[in-house]
Amino acid sequence: MNLLVSTDWLAAEMGKTDLRIIDATLFLPAMARNARAEFEAAHIPGAVFFDIEEVSDTSNPLPSMLPPAEKFASRCQALGLGDGSRIVVYDNSPLRSAARVWWMLNLFGAHEVAILDGGFGKWQAEGRAVESGKPIVRHRHFTVWADKALVRDMGQMTENLRTKAEQVVDARGAGRFTGAEPDPRPGVRPGHMPGSRNIPYSALFNEDGTYKPPAEIKALFDAANIDLSKPVTATCGSGITAPVLAFGAALLGKTNVAVYDGSWSEWGAHPHNPVVTGA
């Protein structure tokens, strides 16, 4: 299974006993939309809803932080996701939140995970079948595992300012990165980490929500002076869109891009962390 699968491919594979489909739609509060309600109104047949906000470390004041491995495995089992499953993730969100769940699944030990190119929007635009309601699933075993090589914390990001061992690429929009726009979170300063580069996650997509061809994605990394032959860590506002850049790099063959889970909602809120404004 490729990392990126088409709607034609998914339609042809539906019904296979090892295939699992996840709706990973997430909206910000300001969007005034309810992802679970929209899922129950219409989703790809056989899909289950992955609640990113709930499958998180809910004891952490930061948004949508990674949950303990045991919680992640438990939630996956309840969704019918298990060892040996081929998993296709999609979303219907401007945040392209399928990439967050793709990253989480890889971090917690799933072996075959793909993203549906164009997501639910493309599926619907093509007039393909949808269903409504809550799916009935059978629990499956999901082995507890966590590959912490794919995640960074604030201490590691601070140490990287000294060592410069890893390139840091920021997925936020240019206005947020430069500090020209205020951060939407109270108490979070605008700007970016010293030495980080900017590739807005939205730049990786065509107008129809499909990913751009690999050559165009590679050109984005090149333009930001990110060398994919060297270590890379992605960051964003709250850890949701940074995985889009990690996925884009994976499409180019670099599958080990780490994500700073706390991202700017953590970094920019700490008064002692250095912050840079401007391009």
Which are the catalytic amino acids?
236
Under 8 Å between Cβ of 2 and 255: no
Contact 135, 47 (CB under 8 A): yes
The helix (H) or strand (E) run that includes residue 71 is: helix 69-78
Distance (Å, whole) CA 18 – CA 173: 38
> Around Cβ 219, how many Cβ atoms within 10 Å?
13
How far from chain centre, in Å, is Cα 31? Answer: 18
Q: How far apart are CA 92 and CA 72, in angstroms?
A: 22
CB contact at 8 A, 45 and 14: yes
Q: What span, in angstroms and rounded, lies between the C-alpha atoms of 239 and 55?
A: 14
Strand order in the sheet with 258-260: 151-152, 258-260, 232-235, 167-170, 197-198
* Token pair in block for residue 230: 């060297």
Helix or strand run (H / E) with residue 237: none
Reference 199, options 167, 229, 230; nearest CA is 167
Q: Report the distance separating Cα 76 and Cα 137, nearest Å.
A: 11
Backbone torsions φ then ψ of 98, nearest 5 degrees: -55, -35
